[in-house]
């Protein structure tokens, strides 16, 4: 069975840092593009960052310069390093996988994790 499991969420103060992990099981991560998405209360799920199977990355304007996506194929894991966190970053963060080496539009993702909650508050 194919599974994605997020971890690393929690409560952090504004300006702080957090690293989220997305661990894959049941499939080879290096054959997939992986995206991070987030959903705040009352809002639609939005794309945060994407890394293709070829290693190309992109990020939403709202997080550029603060968030960095990376992958460790040996560990079958994708990370989202989040720095300079703001209260507006508070959301449930999801990782999702798409087979191949294409980008990560929300509606094209094939598999989703259950999410991990990130709360940025003093």
Q: How far apart are CA 21 and CA 5, in angstroms?
A: 8
The helices-and-strands tally (H runs, E runs) of the chain is 0, 11
For residue range 17-67, what is the model confidence (pLDDT) as tens digits? 999 999 999 888 889 999 999 999 999 999 999 999 999 999 999 999 999
For residue range 65-75, what is the model confidence (pLDDT) as tens digits? 999 999 998 99
φ, ψ (nearest 5 deg) of residue 87: -55, -30
> What is the DSSP-derived secondary structure letter of residue 75?
G
Q: How far apart are CA 99 and CA 33, in angstroms?
A: 6
Do the bridges between strand 10-12 and strand 116-120 make them parallel or antiparallel, or are there none, so unpaired? parallel
């Amino acid at each position: 069975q194919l599974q994605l499991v997020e971890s690393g969420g929690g409560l952090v103060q504004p300006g702080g840092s957090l690293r989220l992990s997305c661990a894959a099981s049941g499939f080879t991560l290096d054959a997939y593009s992986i995206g991070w998405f987030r959903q705040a209360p009352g809002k639609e799920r939005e794309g945060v960052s994407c890394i293709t199977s070829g290693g190309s990355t992109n990020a939403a304007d709202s997080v550029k310069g603060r968030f960095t996506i990376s992958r460790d194929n040996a560990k079958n894991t994708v990370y989202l390093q989040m720095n300079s966190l703001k209260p507006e970053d508070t959301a449930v963060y999801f990782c999702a996988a798409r087979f191949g080496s294409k980008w990560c539009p929300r509606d094209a993702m094939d598999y989703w994790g259950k999410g991990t909650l990130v709360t940025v508050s003093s």
